[in-house]
Amino acid sequence: MLKRFSISLEEDLLEDFDAFIRQKRYENRSEAIRDLIRSSFIRDEWQTDKDVMGVITLVYDHHQPKLQKKVTELQHDYHQQIVSTTHVHMDHDNCLEVIIVRGQAGVVKELTDSLKSLRGVRDAKLAMSSTGKHLH
């Protein structure tokens, strides 16, 4: 059920907010505020070590000795957190791996850092998302 409430804002802040809404292509203020609230809740889930979902993206050189093996071994160490992995052979040298993860935020971050620190990994990013259970 939708509830209405009013918000008081300084004029300058409201002008900046409206400019932000146009830039981000929101249809209206309500939709923008709903999104900002959900983003804050997701950030809080990660900061307070809740059960979260995320996607790790890796770019690495598969010619680097033993790297492919290390990437696979690490994923086996964290098999309870890994939902799915997709491997793309981008060109002669470079591999892209997309790893969908679920689990305690701190453990997911630990896995990301372990992958990132392997020699030959050129890029490792973690997209921090949510199980959606506590979002409406």
Which residue is listed with tokens 């203020």?
A: 29
> Is there binding between residue 89 and Ni ion (CB under 5 A)?
yes
Closer Cβ to Ni ion, 3 or 92, answer by number: 92
Contact partners, residue 90, CB within 8 Å, separation at least 6: 59, 96
Give min distance, CB of 98 to Ni ion, in A.
12
User: For residue 87, what are its two tokens?
Assistant: 């491997």
Instruction: Please report how close the Cβ of residue 122 comes to Ni ion at its closest, in angstroms.
Output: 13
Tell me if 121 contacts Ni ion by CB under 5 A.
Answer: no
Cβ of residue 68: shortest distance to Ni ion, in angstroms? 8
Nearest distance from residue 99's CB to Ni ion, in Å?
A: 14
Q: Which stretch binds Ni ion (CB under 5 A): 2-10, 37-45, 93-101, 123-131?
A: 93-101
- Of these, 52, 58, 82, 95, which contacts Ni ion (CB under 5 A)? 95
Residues 6 or more apart from 20 whose CB is under 8 A from it? 32
Establish if 58 lies at the interface with Ni ion (CB under 5 A).
no
Instruction: Single out the residue of 76, 58, 30, 62 nearest to residue 117, CA to CA.
Output: 58
Q: Does 119 bind Ni ion (CB under 5 A)?
A: no
User: Do the Cβ atoms of 126 and 55 come closer than 8 Å?
Assistant: yes
Q: What angle do CA 130, 118, 105 make, to 5 degrees?
A: 20
Chain positions contacting Ni ion, by CB under 5 A? 89, 95
